[in-house]
């Protein structure tokens, strides 16, 4: 079977869930071949996890300055891997960084590019949600090696244990004049909750939460469910919650197993970022709120009465179980 290159998202020590999802997508087209870009030793630390989820080959693109430049080392590594194995496709996570890498790679390869796919069939036809969630389209690359970014959460990770062959890609020296270099790093505040794009459960609050203090009920329900906290653009613009938690067309796109929307009306901008969630639960006091029509389960009521009851019930069942 042909190889399908998968760019590995990682933190240097562990493989992100989004990469395991890409492995599942890649198996529809061929044999997943992981491309690890990092400092020396990174691929060795990640190889076991990659092999467990189906990587038949691990291409190690390592250099001491790989982490010091944005996008360019990943583009270089994928270009080298394409030349070496002539893959059926290249898959990348549809994050801000991933979309940039994919776009630059497609330009270098003079190849077709598909962004933010939510499904992919065995013939390479991708399903996308476009125009702010108004349309679902099916697209296929007709020129060169298909470069496709896949929305995190669109595929379920599937363990597929095997042995992965290790190969080395010699990264060229980065050209400082043509590459964006990292000059400083600042750690973002982090808690015990999973990241938005990796969480299987997301609980989001909107303008109906009423203020920053109102997000406490959102956080409590998210913690009870073991999920991540999100926010609508209206809530973020009003200063209720930090921008990095925004879900929507101008925020992060998510596709969890369960999405709970509290006090979110359902503007197109927000729906575009979460409507592919497997199960959607919406709580809103306005019976005409658009999101209630999209939800699998809709509750017309005061979120400050409904959400605490949900939290209490979830906590009780977890304790009993």
Handedness of CA 298, 303, 309, 313 (dihedral sign): positive
Parallel/antiparallel/unpaired status of strands 57-62 and 258-262? unpaired
129 or 8, which is more confident: 8
What are the residues facing 201 on neighbouring strands?
258
The tokens 């190849």 sit on which residue? 111
Residues 273-300 have pLDDT tens digits of: 999 999 999 999 999 999 999 999 999 9
Rounded-to-integer distance, Cα 285 and Cα 289, Å: 8
Domain 3-181 has CATH 3.40.50.300: no
Rounded-to-integer distance, Cα 283 and Cα 275, Å: 15
Residues 42-53 have pLDDT tens digits of: 999 999 999 999
Question: Do 3-181 and 201-320 show the same overall fold?
Answer: yes
Rounded-to-integer distance, Cα 221 and Cα 159, Å: 30
Enumerate residues 6+ apart whose C-beta is below 8 A from 213: none
pLDDT at 190: 58
pLDDT at 189: 62
pLDDT at 176: 76
* % of the chain surpassing 90 pLDDT: 82
Residues 230-271 have pLDDT tens digits of: 999 999 999 999 999 999 988 998 999 999 999 999 999 899
Which residue ranges make up the annotated binding site? Answer: 207, 232-233, 246-250, 263-270, 284
Which residue ranges make up the annotated binding site for FAD? Answer: 207, 232-233, 246-250, 263-270, 284
For the segment 196-213, the average pLDDT, to the nearest whole number, is 95
The answer to whether 283 and 239 have CB atoms below 8 angstroms apart is no
State which fold the 201-320 domain adopts.
Answer: Rossmann fold (3.40.50)
User: What are the domain boundaries of the chain?
Assistant: 3-181, 201-320
Rounded-to-integer distance, Cα 272 and Cα 274, Å: 6
Handedness of CA 49, 53, 57, 61 (dihedral sign): negative
pLDDT at 69: 85
The alpha carbon of 86 is separated from its chain's Cα centroid by a whole number of angstroms, namely 26
């Amino acid at each position: 079977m042909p190889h399908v290159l998968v760019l590995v998202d990682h933190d240097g020590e562990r493989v992100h869930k989004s990469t395991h999802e890409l492995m599942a997508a890649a198996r529809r087209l061929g044999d997943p071949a992981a491309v690890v870009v990092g400092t020396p030793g990174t691929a060795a630390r990640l190889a076991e996890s990659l092999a467990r989820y189906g990587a038949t080959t691990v291409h190690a693109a390592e250099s001491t300055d790989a982490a010091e430049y944005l996008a360019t080392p990943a583009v270089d590594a994928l270009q080298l891997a394409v030349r070496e194995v002539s893959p059926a496709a290249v898959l990348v996570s549809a994050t801000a960084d991933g979309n940039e890498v994919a776009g630059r790679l497609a330009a270098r390869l003079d190849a077709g590019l598909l962004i933010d796919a939510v499904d992919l069939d065995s013939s390479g036809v991708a399903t996308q949600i476009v125009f702010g969630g108004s349309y679902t389209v099916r697209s296929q690359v007709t020129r060169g090696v298909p470069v496709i970014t896949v929305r995190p959460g669109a595929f379920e990770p599937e363990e597929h244990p095997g042995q992965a062959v290790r190969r080395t890609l010699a990264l060229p020296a980065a050209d400082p004049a043509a590459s964006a270099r990292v000059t400083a790093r600042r750690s973002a505040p982090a808690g015990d909750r999973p990241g938005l794009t990796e969480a299987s459960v997301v609980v989001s609050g909107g303008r109906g939460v009423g203020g920053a203090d109102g997000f406490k009920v959102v956080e409590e329900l998210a913690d009870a469910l073991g999920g991540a906290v999100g926010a609508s653009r209206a809530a973020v613009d009003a200063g209720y919650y930090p921008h990095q938690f925004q879900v929507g067309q101008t925020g992060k796109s998510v596709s969890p197993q369960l999405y709970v929307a509290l006090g979110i009306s359902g503007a197109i901008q927000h729906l575009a970022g979460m409507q592919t969630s497997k199960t959607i639960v919406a709580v809103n006091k306005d019976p005409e709120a658009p999101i209630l029509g999209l939800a699998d389960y809709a509750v017309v009521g005061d979120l400050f009465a409904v959400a605490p009851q949900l939290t209490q019930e979830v906590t009780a069942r977890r304790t009993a179980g």
